[in-house]
Chain A
Amino acid sequence: MSPLIQLHDITKTYITGETTLLALNHVNLTINEHELVAIVGESGSGKSTMLHTLGLLDKPTSGSYLLNGKEVAKLNDDELSSLRNLKMGFAFQAFFLLPRFDAIHNVMLPLLYRGVNLNESKERALQILDKLSMTKFKYQRPNQMSGGQQQRVAIARALIGNPDIVFADEPTGALDSKTSKEIIDVFIKLYEEEKKTVIMVTHDIKIALQCRRMITVKDGKIVNDVRDEERKA
């Protein structure tokens, strides 16, 4: 069976005026199903760029990206949208909830774009909100919730479509340490109990150490890639 994700010689260049910046510098990376991966590195090292590329939100300048053994460079925008919708879930530092819609509507969005009808979407959104102990906030809009609550809603939205991979870019970056711990526990549970692949960018070394695999990025290059087993050894 082919690995879940295979990056081969991926580069990403940003050209701003005269300067050219290599945000991803010939990256090779393999991630299997059911992994819990932390991506760490200095600010500006290319962590987010890597996560966005993996999450099909951004396109690499060159190289090959096989998702479930299939080259994604050949896919058009609509096929990429479908893949994100069916296989991926996202959580960001800034939550990225729709400000004009309440928690339920934010959570059910991926299902609506999948063509699931309104009632079923609502029902499933309620179930997932309940699972994240957010039932109380179902009719609240983002500006009526705390950061931790908003992140839970964002995670509920990431999970409602039952994705294979959950991407998180500094999901606790805007939260205090107690709330951070609760949110990280949600991701660890996802990995342990629901057997999902979780890929998380973080600044926090304590969080990174809780993950089974830690990838260190520097100047767009993977400089270190250790798994738990190796760390313990």
Chain B
Amino acid sequence: MNLKMHFRTAITNLNSTKLRSMLAALGILVGTASVVAMISGGQLASYQALQQFKALGTNLMSITINTASSSDSGDSSNLSSATTSSPVTVQEAINLKTASSDITSIAPYISLYQPMKFQGHTVSGTILGTTETLQNIMKLTMQEGRFVSLLDKNNYYCVIGQKIYTELKKYSLDPMGQQISIGSSIFTIIGILKDWTQNSFIYADLNQSVFVPINTAYIISSYAQIYNVILKLNEGTNITTLEQDITNYFNQNIPGKSLYFQSAAQILASMTSQQQILTAFLGFIGGISLLVGGIGIMNIMLVSVAERRQEIGIRLAVGAKKRDIQKMFLIEAVVLSFFGGIAGVLFGLTISFAIAIYQGWLFMIFYQPILLGFVVSVLTGIFFGFYPAYKASKLLPIETLRGIE
């Protein structure tokens, strides 16, 4: 009997016990669906994370600079050095570039919170004192005008993010060139940024920010201080070495600071590894449900073999070989789990689609979970169908016919 005929036979047999077949396939459906949903959900999440860094690249590092609190208060010299340590100046921050040849550009920034008013209306947002390098590193694109620059010295110019722009538009048709008050000073809007894709590397929402020249920031507030520096690095920079170089540089030139480093590559790596752990864990749960589904298939097939002893006897009597009988039951099990698998893949994709919608992710169909779903469901069928089929093939013609004679 050829394979095609075996499949037709399997369909006929399964079709004649529809309800039971469907219930048996249900276990596989649930198992496959969870494997597919979990793995494709995990992939969507990783993709989402990757996507954030794709625009900026992963050759970024941020340093948070704090004045070290004196750990040893008994030592007076140490105490005095801590209290006298001055904040990092703009020039010092820019000179940091000499710390390592791996640093290609530097963007120090100052963040401030000051009341802002536009034509008498309160506007909420972060004020960032920056240089033109930030635009370059963060890939900020202008919708109109230009970005602030070191060349602006301490002029009262500012650039607004897209969300601020939308807010200002409520009060004025064209905010460009208009004036906005920050604290007690009046600033002229010289540029508007296009929408910027949120990135977990920088915590501030740049769309909701007002950018002023870094030197002007010192004038707005006496609390203005450079706490953050963003560095752009050469591709493939050794992060550990770089951190050491920078720490050494600070110890020699600007002592008394504690540094906190964060690199995009590390963030991404930890996101990916978390994601992999999650995927593996969820895949494991899916595997357990498949196992349960597989046992369901085995159970149904064992019942089927017991019920169909007469059929086995008839087939043997008219010339079926042992392997024909074995194939018959094995193929039934595989067909059963394959249908469960198809339904499971579809269901799993639907679930991952729902997850994507719920999380606000971009939905995509990856081929690996689909392929895996099919392969795994068919393998489950083969694995759990094997024993019942083997058992059926061991029966002798007369044993199976006698029972009903």
By a CB distance below 8 angstroms, the chain B residues around A130 are none
Kindly specify which of B38-46, B73-81, B306-314 makes contact with the partner chain: B306-314
Task: Find residues 153-172 in chain A having any chain B CB closer than 8 Å to their own CB.
Answer: 157, 161, 169
Within the assembled complex, what's the spacing in Å between the Cα atoms of A115 and B401?
24
User: Would you call B127 an interface residue if the criterion is a C-beta within 8 Å of the partner chain's C-beta atoms?
Assistant: no
- Chain B binding surface, main DSSP class: helix
User: Which residues of A in the span 26-62 have a Cβ within 8 Å of any Cβ on B?
Assistant: 48, 52, 55, 57-58
Q: Tell me which of A94, A114, A118 contacts B319 (CB under 8 A).
A: A114
Interface residues of B in 315-363 (CB under 8 A from A): 315-324
A18 beta carbon closer than 8 Å to chain B: no
B173 within 8 A of A: no
A187 within 8 A of B: no
Tell whether A100 pairs with B13 under 8 Å between CB atoms, given A57-B398, A93-B405, A113-B324.
yes
* Inter-chain contact A90/B318, CB cutoff 8 Å: yes
CA distance A93 to B317 in the complex (A): 15
Q: Which residue of A lies closest to B397 (CB)?
A: A57
Bound Cα distance from A86 to B5, whole angstroms? 20
Q: Which of the segments A63-71, A76-84, A175-183, A214-222 contacts the partner chain?
A: A76-84
Contact at A96–B314, with CB atoms within 8 Å?
A: yes
Q: Are A157 and B13 in contact (CB under 8 A)?
A: no
Contact with A along B1-16 (1 / 0, CB 8 A): 1101100000011001
Q: Contacts of A161 on B, CB cut-off 8 Å?
A: 318-319
* A101 within 8 Å of B (CB atoms): yes
Contacts of B12 in A (CB 8 A): 100-101
| B404 in the interface (beta carbon within 8 A) | yes
Residues of chain A lying within 8 A (CB to CB) of residue B404: 94
Of the candidates B1, B315, B316, B322, the one whose C-beta lies within 8 Å of that of A115 is B1
Are B319 and A86 interface neighbours, CB within 8 A? Answer: yes
Residues of A within 8 A of B318 (CB): 84-85, 90, 109-110, 113, 157, 161
**Docked complex Cα distance between A94 and B12 (Å):** 23
Partner of B320, one of A52, A81, A101: A81
Which chain B residues in 177-217 approach chain A with CB under 8 Å? none
Closest to B4 in A: A118
Q: Which residue of A lies closest to B14 (CB)?
A: A100
Count contacts between A and B, CB distance < 8 Å. Answer: 75
Query: Is A72 in contact with chain B by the CB < 8 A criterion?
Result: no
User: CB distance A113 to B319 under 8 Å?
Assistant: yes
Chain B residue numbers with a CB within 8 Å of A169 are 405
**Contacting residues, chain B, for A94 (C-beta < 8 A):** 404-405
A92 located at the interface, meaning its Cβ lies under 8 Å from any Cβ of chain B in the complex: yes
In the assembled complex, A98 has its CB within 8 A of some CB on chain B: yes
Chain B neighbourhood of A117, CB < 8 A: 2
- Which chain B residues lie closer than 8 Å to A78 at the CB level? 321-323
Q: Does A112 contact B (CB under 8 A)?
A: yes
Inter-subunit contact B317/A84 (CB<8 Å): yes
Question: Contact at B311–A98, with CB atoms within 8 Å?
Answer: yes
**In contact, B13 and A81 (Cβ under 8 angstroms):** no
**Closest residue on chain A to residue B311 by CB atoms:** A98
Within 8 A of A (CB), among B371-405: 396-398, 401, 404-405
Most buried by B among A90, A92, A96, A99: A96
Would A118 and B16 count as touching, CB distance under 8 A?
no
CB closest chain-A residue, reference B310: A96
Q: A101-B12, A115-B2 are in contact. Are A96 and B319 (CB under 8 A)?
A: no
Within 8 A of B (CB), among A114-166: 114-115, 117-118, 157, 161
Interface residues of A (CB under 8 A from B): 48, 52, 55, 57-58, 77-78, 81-82, 84-86, 90, 92-94, 96-101, 109-110, 112-115, 117-118, 157, 161, 169
Besides the contacts A84-B319, A92-B405, A115-B1, what 9 more A-B pairs have beta carbons closer than 8 Å? A57-B401, A78-B323, A81-B321, A85-B318, A90-B317, A109-B314, A109-B318, A110-B318, A113-B324
**What are 26 contact pairs spanning A and B, CB under 8 A?**
A48-B405, A52-B398, A57-B317, A57-B398, A77-B321, A78-B321, A81-B319, A81-B321, A82-B319, A84-B318, A84-B319, A85-B318, A90-B318, A92-B405, A98-B314, A98-B315, A100-B16, A101-B12, A109-B318, A112-B1, A113-B320, A113-B321, A114-B319, A157-B318, A161-B319, A169-B405
